[in-house]
Amino acid sequence: MSESLIVITGGPGAGKSTLLEHLHRHHGLNIVAEGGRAIIREQRARGGDALPWANREAFCREMFEHALTTRERALDAGGQWLFDRGLVDVLGYARLCGLPMTDELEAAAQQLRYAPTVFLAPAWQAIYRNDAERRQGFAEAQRTAAVMAKVYEELGYRLLELPLCSPQERAAFVLAHCPL
């Protein structure tokens, strides 16, 4: 387990990226951006099909590789890191989509640990927006948040639900509950 790797999970469009950007800009914290959006942009730019609406298995594999790589880089760099999703989220995505669970994914989610407290950004309809990379509806965002919470809890993580408030207030909540 690595106390220095802190995860913020939840459904899409729940303010995770905005919160992390605020923590980085205003508090100087190290952050790891969500892999899903970067993968979608890269796949679209090169005409690939590892997209959640085209080939979910390939998209899941790409997210798994991204999660492994960014976790390792953060450990190598040292210091505290806040992640917009972690390896466990990839396992949650596979479950949500009914994809086969590879032994490698299961083992990685169980063995390559993050800090024991994980922040959950609940689905929040007031701020939820679709865009070119976020095509799922709000109901799917709610299901995603529920699946992520369940998977993290099954693996022994303690979840702290982020309040529905401004990025500044959410940042204060994270800072008050983190060993930063």
**Per-residue pLDDT reduced to its tens digit, 27-66:** 999 999 999 889 999 999 999 999 988 999 999 999 999 9
User: Which pLDDT value is given to residue 83?
Assistant: 98
Contacts of 142 (CB under 8 A, 6+ apart): 11, 123
Look-up: residue for tokens 């972690």? 86
Which residue pairs from 41-44 have beta carbons closer than 8 angstroms and sit at least 24 positions apart in sequence?
A: 41/133
User: Which pLDDT value is given to residue 100?
Assistant: 83
User: Which pLDDT value is given to residue 1?
Assistant: 54
The C-alpha atoms of residue 178 and residue 175 are separated, in whole angstroms, by 5
Q: Decide if 151 contacts 91 (C-beta within 8 A).
A: yes
User: Which pLDDT value is given to residue 101?
Assistant: 73
User: Which pLDDT value is given to residue 92?
Assistant: 95
User: Which pLDDT value is given to residue 19?
Assistant: 98
Query: Strand locations in the chain, DSSP E?
Result: 5-10, 30-32, 81-84, 117-121, 158-161
- Domain 5-176: which topology? Rossmann fold (3.40.50)
Structure tokens at 111: 């063995």
Q: Is the full-model pTM beyond 0.85?
A: yes
Q: Which residues of the chain have pLDDT under 50?
A: none
Torsion of CA 7, 12, 17, 23, to 10 degrees: -50
User: Which pLDDT value is given to residue 91?
Assistant: 96
